[in-house]
Amino acid sequence: MIQARKLGHVVLKVRDAERSKDFYTRTLGLKVAYESPGAVFLSFGVQHHDLALFQLATGEAPAPTQPGLHHMAWQLGTFAELQSAYRELRDLGIPVDATIAHNVTRSIYFADPDGNRVELYCDMVEHGFEAMQVLGPRRDLMDIETGDVVSR
């Protein structure tokens, strides 16, 4: 059996590589590792790239029921960092679609310029694999300011 070590990077087809580059550098703090016409490779400064943007897309984003990417998730260190990210997105004028309390994480969701859903999250348990096996992927709405569950 193949034993991959980790997800190495994500590559998105975008309508406008420059606009998407601006979005991901502003919202996630990614840095440009390499750029050529219609292609941008972004990194947090350790890997050669964590996200690549290829200007290949035209037309509208796929309908929610069509196959494809549901969302990509980017990990933050603490709940306080997640709260700060929420405020920063608000200040940037980027609407947050949902604030969710999962059993193992706390998450916020928003869309990129091409409609790809982005998640920022922080772990709430130390041993995520074991916790997920026991607790499952619960999904409750959350008050981002307090972290309190607001509905079940």
Q: How far apart are CA 69 and CA 62, in angstroms?
A: 10
For the chain, 152 residues long, give each residue's pLDDT as a single digit of tens: 888 888 899 999 999 999 999 999 999 999 999 999 999 999 999 999 999 999 998 988 888 888 989 999 999 999 999 999 999 999 999 999 999 999 899 999 999 999 999 999 999 999 889 988 988 888 888 999 998 888 65
Domains 1-58 and 70-152 share a fold: yes
Q: Considering only CA atoms, which of 112, 121, 120, 129 is closest in space to residue 15?
A: 112
Q: How far apart are CA 50 and CA 8, in angstroms?
A: 7
77-103 exposure pattern, b = at least 16 Cβ within 10 A, e = fewer? eebeebbebbeebeeeebeeeebbbbb
Q: Considering only CA atoms, which of 15, 93, 84 is closest in space to residue 56?
A: 15
What is the reported pLDDT for 152? Answer: 58
Q: Dump strand ranges (E) for 15-116.
A: 31-36, 39-43, 51-55, 72-76, 96-102, 105-111
Annotated domain spans of the chain: 1-58, 70-152
Tell me which CATH code domain 70-152 carries: 3.10.180.10
Domain 1-58 = CATH 3.30.420.40: no
